[in-house]
Chain A
Amino acid sequence: MSSRKLKSNNLKHSECLSQVQRILRERFCHQSLHSNLFGVQVQYKHLIELLKRTAIYGESNSVLIIGPRGSGKTMLINHALKELMEVEEVSENVLQVHLNGLLQINDNIALKEITRQLNLENVVGDKVFGSFAENLSFLLEALKKGDRTSSCPVIFILDEFDLFAHHKNQTLLYNLFDISQSAQTPVAVVGLTCRLDILELLEKRVKSRFSHRQIHLMNSFGFPQYLKIFKEQLSLPAEFPDKLFAEKWNENVQCLSEDRSVREVLQKHFNVSKNLRSLHMLLMLALNRVTSSHPFMTAADLMEANQLCSMDSKANIVHGLSVLEICLIIAMKHLNDIYEEEPFNFQMVYNEFQKFVQRKAHSVYNFEKPVVMKAFEHLQQLELIRPMERTSVNAQREYQLMKLLLDSTQIMNALQKYPNCPTDVRQWATSSLSWL
């Protein structure tokens, strides 16, 4: 009986855990609107006031939200729009147009997308989308028809705003800003970008029409807040079905946040990047280690996750190379030392390798040249070495100049961990003269 009870307990546990994983993964991967905003209350207030004025008074505005990647720009605007739409008098009155510089790569596509999102194509009846010029004049005409008090305000959200600035003549931006500065349909143009020099990208006429309102998101929090964010991100919500489990889980999270080694891990992570996305990545990795037999996250999980995060990817590649390939890389390292970062070709590397094999090596078999060539090409495919200029068809591959994309410290560290590395190779690596 007791075993059955245990079993049902276990079952319940695993159910709870899958719930936990679902909730937390959703939180980490989707930018859910339920999470709170951290330290951006002032900016949020500015933005929401601005949007409200457009929606309620029909005042045209333009604003740029600037901040590094992962600083919560999209979250800020989404929060603001959500709140705006909850206001009764606004929800029916506002049209939204979402554009992304990565999707709308030129003005023609952008115009079509705007027309589509404004549901204007119905009005044109049988007229299918015509040329770019027709689209532009069509849309401008449509927007021009409106006025401040009677037309429905349109909120334009331009994600990756800097990419729109690269469009030809910045036609779209000019026209959007021009509408925002003239008595036409009220619009709010909200641009999101991570470039601090965005204003320098704008053409002078476009710049003059932009209202110069900028909202900066700078990740201006310190470590204590980071810790708080960590706790909040990991805690389960109060409406979690199993109250007991949630309590236990949250208690555990509290313990974690006070744990010294956890703090160290977080501090290290914080030092590298204040980006919340990287924190999410860390927590995600740690969360994946939680199973029914290991129901609560521990400091060890986080440390492991951190290790995974901060791993050197190239060193990992080196770990998987064959001894011959390692030998070639060492030969290249020596060449770099001798010739002071001058580029090398296959023949030079092969000669260096031959010297080592003939005089010193005991464990390394003297491979034939084509075999070595093959290994060399494999390294090139792994992008550990890189040709100086494009490979032309008739150039002899042996004499093509190459550069090594590994730092000498990286090579030495990788060799330390390389499994079953022959001692003579290791010795050769430490000193190019050791075989003399």
Chain B
Amino acid sequence: MKSRQTYSWVGRPLLDPKLHHQTYREMSVKVEGCSTELHIHVGQFVLVEGNDDENPYVAKLVELFEDGSEPRSRKRARVQWFIRFCEVPVCKQHLLGRKPAAQEIFWYDYPACDSNINAETIIGPVQVVALAPDEVIPTDLKNEKTLFVKLSWNEKKFSPLSPELFAQLEKLQEGSPRCQKSVEAKTKNIESPSCTTAERAVKRVESRHSSSKSRPAPTHPVTPRARKRLELSSSPRTPNTRISRQTSWASPDSPRRTKRKAALSEITSPSKRSQPDGLQTPSPARKAPEKTGEIQRRSCAKDDKKVSAERHMTLRPRVPALKTTVLSEERRLTPTRGGRRSSMVPSVILIPENIRKREAEEPEAQDEAVSSRHHTSRKSSLLTLNQIKQQLRFLGKSESDSEDEEFLPAAEIPDSSSEEEEDSTSPLPRTPSGASRNLRSSTKLSLQTPSKTPKKTPKPRTPHHATPRIRSRNLAAQEPASMLEEARLRLHVSAVPESLPCREQEFQDIYNFVESKLLDQTGGCMYISGVPGTGKTATVHEVIRGLQQAAQANDVPPFQYIEVNGMKLTEPHQVYVQILQKLTGQKATAIHAAELLAKRFRTQGSSQETTVLLVDELDLLWTQKQDVMYNLFDWPTHKEARLVVLTIANTMDLPERIMMNRVSSRLGLTRMSFQPYTHSQLQQILGSRLKHLRAFEDDAIQFVARKVAALSGDARRCLDICRRATDICEFSCQKPGSPGLVTVAHLLEAVDEMFSSSYITAIKNSSVLEQSFLRAILAEFRRSGLEEATFQQVYSQHVALCRMEGLPYPTMTETMAVCCQLGSCRLLLVEPSRNDLLLRVRLNVSQDAVLYALKEE
């Protein structure tokens, strides 16, 4: 866990009468339990908490001010952002045209980006060196904490820094003597970058441990085991490098991550800012990492000491090795000694910052950074999903789990640590339009209207995204043993075939449509219709799968795919909520989500990649005002939205039938209709599913295909019939022991079972009185010539009939019971029985069918 930090202003406020807020020149950050302070001046380069612990945001501090309009978080800062290469959208990274240097950042020339931040998210100063366009970025980095800026990035292209900007930056650089000094004091404690992979694994182990070590929660005794292992593993090296490496790794894994969370929670929940020190309270989601690092947390007090050792090293590289060993030893033995270090290192105040600096000093760290960058870029497509996962994992990991981890054998640790590392690298890169920026803008909004913005998204304390699953089974599911079972498995509708036969044309059309939109970077709508079970949704899924593969191969630009289903919504307006959640992970009410989405899709440059939206069961999104449909089709018409909307419904003329003109006009004329499968197509589908599996006779397949094609052309029906036929076949063939082929007879039985009406059998199996009541109804209908009669009329007929047939006299109560029984089966349609004698009775079956059923006896 991160130690508490107190932010306070230094110097007198410079009151700005126009802006109604007070500006400051300097801010001091004080770490709790440590007497030193870190001063941050306006004009300095700072690191700002971001989603990515390893690469915090870099910015230049432009202004520090106190905002009176927001009661909770008063300390604000205005910054000029820099952007790291890994934060550049993946699809744009190639625009640089060369490999970026490890320490290279870019001047972020993008006015739309919100530059107003909470001052309490500032981590600490950092050194940034501006380079002239012709200068080469020093590759033999002596001081890895220094960042270099050479180009600017404006979301469209990289361009060299303008001369005045360059001069300004240059001047700034000169102006900060402290940084300058550290640049000069380049240390030689760097390992050669050619360390073996084994070594690296070891380092990971170490880093993992040290990461937990650095956490400031000094209560538990240190578990010596993990520590010892560390020492062993790093024996060939000089102790001081080891320590520095350790400490450098302290940051990326834990404190920063937790800190980032804190930052998020701070940003998102204003209630938290009310705390005087502006720091986070431990959220439940953070419990897990806390525990993981339990061993070393206690030793965090020494963290600063480590830092001090480190600092000495930086200044005097020839620190005797012995001394550091002693230091580390000391650390182990005396876990809580917070008071001392301040005297040793007066200049060091902010732990994370120092850690970060040290991190930059190491080539391994660099290696890791590169690899993590790789992670980030790979994962940038997953964006929010990962965040959700991460939270889930924290949540899901039980305490015992993480405690176990500490005592895992050494061999296993690299795995888990890499997993953790993934965790820490997975979160959002600072893409200007991604959720993070949104977040920032929402913070800005909250400045003016604090109550309005629902800042819910990444609030770590309530696991909104914690979607549990059905518990997994104890015993593994059996695999199919016989051929019929295998066939049954393949015939299940859920089985995903490798290809969709008979829909090649439709597939190609949809693919071309979406691909062209992706390539043109425009938006558009498409309406797909067809009766149920004709493969509409399956085809679209197939298209998306194909496009996603193409996007991976860089054939088409990457895109985001979202799917909503009208049937899976409780109410049409919920579609906004779902889209927003899938797009950004935010949660909002329907009205607010609509606003946010409209803003996103209608404002310039809000998205950098195309969004493909599939709306299934469109007809259920119909509302009186049709505003949902209108919006869905209106967004793609905006050039900036880059939204491709694919809609699916059953009826071909839905746009004409239920949509207003202005809605259907926006939907456009890109329509496609899926015809019901013909018998040959169904045959082909069955054939492709049963490839190399002789479970069905050819005739049988043809029979079922023709039967279904004649009925509905629904592929689901076809598969279900076949599946049922395998059951029947298995059942009937059980006696000889060898289940044979499914024949036409089996299929015929299955079809009969599924489609034959049960009314006739129901009448045949009904009781004598029920049958005679039906006869009485027929007689009454014949008498009156109407298709409807009251119960009283039928009753008199019934009495007469019973007398004729020699049945005992039926009382009214009995007859009423009979009538209700028939009514509950829906052989009769009856009114509610409170109408008693006057209730009207109609047949739900044709009179001929009743006659036929009754005659049989």
- Please list the residues of chain A having a beta carbon within 8 angstroms of any beta carbon in chain B: 45-46, 49-50, 53, 56-60, 66, 68-69, 89, 92-93, 95, 107-108, 118, 120, 123-127, 132-133, 136-138, 140-143, 145-146, 148-154, 169, 171, 174-175, 178, 181-186, 194-197, 204-205, 207-209, 211-214, 216, 218-220, 268, 270-275, 310-315, 383, 386, 403, 405-407, 409-410
Contacts and interface: CB of A to CB of B under 8 A. Distances in A.
Nearest to A135: B570
Contacts of A46: 727
B464 interface: yes
A95 B495 CA distance: 23
A53 B480 CA distance: 10
26 contacts: A50-B727, A58-B477, A59-B492, A89-B475, A93-B473, A118-B470, A126-B462, A136-B569, A140-B568, A145-B468, A145-B470, A152-B472, A153-B473, A174-B567, A196-B758, A196-B762, A212-B717, A214-B754, A271-B769, A272-B769, A310-B811, A310-B813, A312-B811, A406-B837, A409-B796, A409-B799
Interface in B599-656: 617, 620, 650
Contact of A59 (B284, B488, B769, B812): B488
A107 B567 CA distance: 12
Contact of B796 (A169, A275, A407): A407
Given A218-B762, A405-B837, A407-B792, A152 B473 contact: yes
Interface in B126-141: none
A185 B470 contact: yes
* Residue with the highest number of chain B CB atoms closer than 10 Å, among A46, A140, A273: A273
B838 interface: yes
Contact of A214 (B284, B464, B753): B753
A273 B812 contact: no
A149 to B, nearest CB: 5
B571 A133 contact: yes
Nearest to A207: B532
Contact of B824 (A68, A204, A270): A68
B213 interface: no
Nearest to A212: B754
Interface string B466-495: 111111111111111000010011001111
B826 interface: yes
B88 interface: no
B837 A195 contact: no
B714 interface: yes
Contacts of A207: 532
Contacts of B496: 183
A383 B834 CA distance: 10
Contact of B812 (A68, A150, A205, A312): A312
B63 to A, nearest CB: 40
A226 B469 CA distance: 48
Interface residues of B, number: 87
Contacts of A150: 472-473, 476-477
A151 B818 contact: no
B395 interface: yes
A314 B716 CA distance: 53
B824 A194 contact: yes
Given A150-B476, A185-B469, A218-B762, 13 more contacts: A56-B478, A136-B570, A142-B467, A142-B470, A149-B476, A183-B495, A186-B477, A196-B757, A196-B762, A208-B533, A208-B717, A272-B768, A386-B838
Contacts of B824: 68-69, 194-195
A132 B717 CA distance: 32
A117 to B, nearest CB: 12
Contacts of B844: 197
A219 B771 CA distance: 14
Nearest to B769: A272
Contacts of B571: 132-133
Nearest to B476: A149
B497 to A, nearest CB: 12
Nearest to B802: A271
* Residue with the highest number of chain B CB atoms closer than 10 Å, among A127, A152, A315: A152
A251 B476 CA distance: 52
Interface in B526-542: 531-533
Interface in B709-751: 714, 716-717, 720-721, 723-724, 727, 731
A268 B808 contact: yes
Contacts of A154: 470
A209 B716 contact: yes
B449 interface: no
B470 A60 contact: no
A60 B492 contact: yes
A95 B470 contact: yes
B567 A92 contact: no
Contacts of A204: 531-532, 650
B469 A145 contact: yes
A137 B529 CA distance: 25
Contacts of A152: 470-473
A21 to B, nearest CB: 27
Contacts of A127: 462-464, 466
Nearest to A198: B826
A154 B480 CA distance: 20
Given A151-B470, A181-B494, A386-B838, A219 B765 contact: yes
Contacts of A60: 492, 494
B467 A141 contact: yes
A405 B532 CA distance: 49
